[in-house]
């Protein structure tokens, strides 16, 4: 990547820079896989633009941290912050490498493109029709994420991409919007936006079984890598070594999947007409594994017993997508239901990324307190006393907290 332009020191809020780096890193992950799914040079080019922006952010963050370090105590407190800066930059570089798969026409099997929508929940590209009920409304007025669990990742308007739109962003006719969320919610939003029914892609027939296994491995790597990043920020925010240890476990699982992926890809290469066509898969797997490594770097300070610096916790809390922790009250509507039955994502816009069981001794760590359930699904039961870690919007966080609390009457 070509580096241009000088970056000079200027007084900036480290908290604000860290929050922007976190948001940018998470958006880069979403957009890079979207570029692959949509085969979009435009989205891929935007990823590289954001990668360049991240380079400037990390340089300014490092400058500010160096200016703030005046003693050995400062060095000890700020070392994990530097680790987080480096991890966000590593995620950015990995996303840029994924985008180059598209821009350099390295190529990917059609099977992967069919599997990706499910791997990123469901992601669609929708053009807002002139008579759409969404046209003319702001995202805040529509409240899509809370009502349907669907988030607008980016909007293309008159040839330009608007990335990470907020509550004040107004949708207009002919806008091309990237929506992401559960399939039921995406189907509803897509129909409202376009006036047409959403038809999910069908996987192509006749693909090699070894290739399918390789793709299954890479999809799992992606899911676990993204979850590891979310949990790493949660470990930092709550200064939780138990959550940080789950990040270690996820990173180890991704490494194991990487080995399996390599084996299945090499076997598949013997059966495809053009083995060079699998290069894109290899690039994608390598970049996906880097993302899980970065998650481990984010949580490294917690793992080494260094207290979370207040500026880091505040930055995570003030980012666009926040992470919260809530305990399920015995009188809550959540107690005794599965995540799917409670329709948590639809009701609140929040996604539960981990559940710690209320009682018992952890089988893995031997400590009091039940095991963590990471990446819980719709069938995961919720029980009184469970500790939930969830990610989503600030408005959704308030509703989620109310839902987890005692509810004698509807709120």
Q: In the CATH scheme, what is the code of domain 14-109+207-313?
A: 1.20.58.220
23-29 average pLDDT score: 87
Q: Which CATH class is domain 121-194?
A: alpha beta
Q: Quick one: what percent of the chain has pLDDT higher than 90?
A: 18
> What pLDDT band is residue 308 in, cutting at 50, 70 and 90?
confident
In CATH terms, the fold of domain 321-404 is Alpha-Beta Plaits (3.30.70)
pLDDT digits (tens, 9 = 90+) for 228-285: 898 888 888 888 888 888 889 889 989 998 998 888 888 888 877 778 878 888 898 9
Looking at the chain, the domain(s) classified CATH 3.30.70.1450 span 121-194, 321-404
41-60 average pLDDT score: 88
294-316 average pLDDT score: 83
Looking at the chain, the domain(s) classified CATH 1.20.58.220 span 14-109+207-313
Q: 3-class secondary structure for the chain? A: CCCCCCCCCCCCCHHHHHHHHHHHHHHHHHHHHHHHHHCCHHHHHHHHHHHHHHHHHHHHHHHHHHHHCCCHHHHHHHHHHHHHHHHHHHHHHHHHHHHHHHHCCCCCCHHHHHHHHHHCEEEEEEECCCCCCCCCCEHHHHCHHHHHCCEEEEEEECCEEEECCCCCCECCCCCEEEEEECHHHHHHHHHHHHCCCCCCCCCCCCCCHHHHHHHHHHHHHHHHHHHHHHHHHHHHHHCCHHHHHHHHHHHHHHHHHHHHHHHHHHHHHCCCCCHHHHHHHHHHHHHHHHHHHHHHHHCHHHHCCCCCCHHHHHHHHHCCCEEEEEECCCCCCCCCCEHHHHCHHHHHCCEEEEEECCCCECCCCCCEECCEEECCCCCCECCCCCEEEEEECHHHHHHHHHHHCCCCCCC
Q: Is the pLDDT of residue 1 over 80?
A: no
């Amino acid at each position: 990547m070509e580096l241009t332009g000088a970056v000079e020191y200027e007084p900036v809020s480290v908290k604000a820079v860290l929050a922007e780096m976190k948001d940018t890193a998470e958006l880069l992950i979403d957009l890079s896989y979207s570029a692959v799914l949509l085969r979009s040079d435009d989205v891929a080019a935007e990823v590289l633009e954001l990668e360049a922006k991240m380079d400037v952010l990390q340089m300014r963050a490092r400058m500010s941290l160096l200016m703030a370090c005046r003693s050995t105590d400062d060095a000890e407190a700020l070392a994990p912050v530097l680790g987080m800066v480096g991890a966000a930059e590593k995620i950015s570089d990995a996303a840029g490498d994924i985008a180059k798969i598209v821009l350099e026409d390295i190529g990917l099997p059609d099977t992967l493109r069919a599997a990706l929508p499910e791997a990123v929940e469901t992601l669609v590209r929708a053009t807002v029709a002139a008579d759409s009920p969404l046209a003319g409304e702001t995202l805040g007025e529509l409240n899509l994420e809370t009502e349907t669990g669907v988030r607008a990742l980016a909007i293309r308007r008159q040839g330009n991409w608007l990335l990470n739109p907020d509550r004040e962003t107004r949708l207009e006719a002919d806008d091309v919007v990237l929506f992401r969320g559960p399939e039921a919610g995406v189907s509803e939003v897509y129909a409202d936006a376009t006036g047409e029914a959403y038809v999910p892609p069908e996987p192509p027939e006749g693909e090699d079984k070894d290739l399918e296994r390789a793709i299954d491995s890479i999809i799992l790597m992606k899911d676990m890598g993204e979850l590891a990043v979310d949990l790493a920020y949660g470990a930092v925010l709550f200064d939780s070594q138990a959550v940080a240890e789950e990040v270690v476990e996820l990173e180890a699982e991704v490494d194991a999947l990487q080995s399996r992926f390599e084996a299945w890809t090499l076997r598949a290469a013997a059966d495809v007409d053009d083995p060079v066509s699998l290069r894109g898969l290899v690039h994608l797997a390598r970049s996906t594994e880097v993302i899980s490594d970065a998650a481990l770097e984010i949580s490294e300070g917690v793992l080494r017993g260094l207290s979370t610096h207040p500026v880091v916790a505040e930055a995570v809390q003030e980012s666009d997508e926040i992470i919260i922790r809530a305990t399920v009250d015995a009188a809550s509507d959540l107690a005794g239901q599965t995540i799917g039955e409670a329709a948590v994502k639809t009701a609140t816009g929040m996604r539960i990324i981990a559940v710690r069981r209320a009682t018992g001794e952890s089988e893995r760590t031997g400590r009091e307190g039940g095991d963590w359930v990471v990446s819980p699904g719709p069938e995961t039961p919720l029980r009184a006393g469970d500790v939930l870690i969830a990610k989503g919007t600030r408005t959704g966080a308030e509703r989620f907290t109310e839902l987890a609390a005692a509810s004698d009457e509807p709120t």
